[in-house]
Structure formats: C-alpha cells, structure tokens
Amino acid sequence: MTYQLAFTLPVTETFARKDFFVSNTNITALSAIDAWQNWPAGKMLLIGPPGSGKTHLAHIWLQATGATLVKGKALATVDIAALSEQGCVCVEDAEDVAGDAEREAAFFHLHNIVTQGAFLLVTAATPPRDWGLRLPDLASRLQAASLTQIDAPDDALLSAVLVKLFADRQITVQPNLISYLVQRMERSLATARLLVATLDTVSLAHGRPVTRQLAASVLGIED
C-alpha cells in the first residue's frame, strides 16, 4: 500500500535560536544576521530558495531586534507610517511586490523611512534584479543593498534536522533510514518536518514502526 505525502497535515514550526541548525549552507547568512548593527545603510537582503531556512533566520533577527514582520503582498494594505514608527522592519517574500504599483510604492516609502534611523531586513528567493520591479528608484536602492545568501540544505543539515524531528516525537529509527530519506526527499527543511510528521501519523494509524519500507510507501517509491 502506498501512502501519499499529506501536504495538508498541520506541522508546528518553532523559530527559536536554539532550534536553528548551522551548516556550511547557512553559516554566512547567520553571521550576517548576527551582525545586523553593522549593516551598511541599515539594510540587508537575505536570499535563498523556498525551504532553506530564511523564515527561521528572519525570526531570529526579530527576536534580537524587536522588529516587525510584514509580507510583501501586504505592503499596499498596511499603514506604512505606523509600521515604520515601530522601529526595525522585516519584509518577507519581498519579490511579491514586483509588478504591483501600490506595493512597490509602499515598499519604497517604507524603505526610505526605516533606513533613516532603524534597520530593514528583506527576504526573497532571488536577488532584486530578477523580481521584475517597475519602480526604478526602488530597484536601484534594493540592488545597492548588501546581500547574504542561504543555500538549499546539504546532506549534513537535512540529516541533523531529521534526527532531531524524530527524537522530538520519541521515534527511534535506524541510522540508514536517515540517509535513505535524505537521498530521496525534496531538499527543504519544511519538507523534512512534513515528512517526519506524516511518517509518525501513518505509523500510529497502522501500528507499524517507522522503517525504510514505510518511508518508501509514504514517498510513493517502489522499494
């Protein structure tokens, strides 16, 4: 029997500093976040693919600075003056402003206010030159900002995350299962959380231990 990976399964994520796994793929970005008081012009772009850990790093910064987080899609609907008065700001998924005149104008306004006396963190999947921004002044300011990059998780990071996720659920697995999953799953920390949660659910529902055979069924792989 094959169990499809249930992407609607709710997974609780924590963004505490202690839960952030450091590896070669993210240590440079973490160092940049930690050095936020030294950001040139008070701003930093954090770039990385979906599931690489940008949101976790952003929340580490929020906890350090007391900053407010706003999604790029929401910029046209928020009170920019009130938002900027709160001090440091993080704009997450900032590429979503591109092509929308109101969002781009709001982002430009926010950028100019916040960077006059506070700090601005911007997260996105790609650098600003690839977003398709239509407001030249916004594009030039973002393209001139310092940039740090977080890469897709490597084997060591995915393995460490999987081990902890299973341990958090008090699930004992064989070491070879970790390597089996790492080589076959989507390279994403979000997928790791979802995969472990799904294996736990299926294991409990069918009274089966979490084994390579069960993992193959959940992943839809003939093993």
Mean pLDDT over 37-45 rounds to 97
Return the exposure string of 45-64: e unless at least 16 CB atoms fall within 10 Å of the residue's CB, then b.
bbbbbebbbbbbbbbbbbee
Q: What is the pLDDT of residue 82?
A: 92
Same domain as 215, residue 119: no
Task: Say whether both 145 and 164 belong to one domain.
Answer: no
Please report the pLDDT score of residue 12 as a whole number: 53
Do 31 and 98 lie in a common domain? yes
pLDDT at 35 over 50: yes
- Taking only the tens place, the pLDDT of each residue in 131-149 is 999 999 999 999 999 999 9
Q: Do residue 134 and residue 173 come from a single domain?
A: no
Q: What is the DSSP letter of 146?
A: E
Choose the final residue of a domain: 149, 167, 198.
149
Could you tell me if residue 59 is inside a domain?
A: yes
Q: What is the dihedral of CA 136, 138, 143, 144, to 10 degrees?
A: 110
Instruction: Note whether 84 and 110 are within 8 A (CB).
Output: yes
70 within 8 A of 83, measured Cβ to Cβ = yes
Q: Which residues are CB-contacts of 128 (< 8 A; sequence separation ≥ 6)?
A: 45, 94, 95, 139, 142, 143, 145
> Which residue in the block uniquely carries the two structure tokens 């979906």?
50
**What's residue 8's pLDDT?**
42
Mean pLDDT (whole number) for 91-108: 98
Among residues 149, 180, 207, the one where a domain terminates is 149
| Average pLDDT score over the chain | 91
Q: 67 pLDDT exceeds 80? A: yes
Query: Do 62 and 142 reside in the same domain of the chain?
Result: yes
Q: How many domains does the chain have?
A: 2
Global pTM value: 0.83
To 10 degrees, the CA torsion angle through 119, 122, 123, 125?
-150
Question: Under a CB-based contact definition with an 8 Å cutoff, are residues 168 and 12 in contact?
Answer: no
Residues 58, 138 within the same domain: yes
- Domain range spanning residue 46? 24-149
DSSP letter at 51? Answer: T
Q: How confident is the model at residue 10 (pLDDT cuts 50, 70, 90)?
A: very low
Share of the chain above pLDDT 70, in %: 93
Candidate ranges 167-171, 180-184, 193-197; pick with highest mean pLDDT: 180-184
